[in-house]
Amino acid sequence: MGLSWTEGLGKYKLTKVITLAPRFLIKNNLSEPICFREHSVVPHGRSALDPGERIPLYTFRTKDKLLTVAFPGMNNQW
């Protein structure tokens, strides 16, 4: 998790604004869509990225932070 803070504006200048952001982003720089999943975990939710698209990856379910990528389609190996 990324963490940043700034001071408030105007009458809130003594207030701190805390922003939480995902630590990992997956971005597809290829010209065709890709599928991704955590290694040895069944894909869940949104697991495909179109060209130029990016998506935050908030958590990993496994202790080893491994990601597997494949091209979409039938009978493609991960």
For every residue of 16-73, DSSP letters joined together read EEEEEE-SEEEE--SSS-EEEEETTS---S--EE-TT-EEEE---SSSS--EEEE-SS
Query: Does 18 reside within a domain?
Result: no
Give me the tens of pLDDT residue by residue for the chain, a chain 78 residues long. Answer: 778 889 988 888 899 999 887 778 889 999 999 988 887 777 666 778 899 999 887 777 777 778 888 888 767 666
Query: Does 57 reside within a domain?
Result: yes
Residue 44 is predicted with a pLDDT of 67
Query: Does 66 reside within a domain?
Result: yes
Residue 35 is predicted with a pLDDT of 87
Residue 53 is predicted with a pLDDT of 93
Please give the tally of structural domains in the chain: 1
Which range marks the domain in which residue 56 is found?
Answer: 24-78
Query: Does 62 reside within a domain?
Result: yes
Residue 45 is predicted with a pLDDT of 65
Contact criterion met (CB below 8 Å) for 46 and 40: no
Query: Does 16 reside within a domain?
Result: no
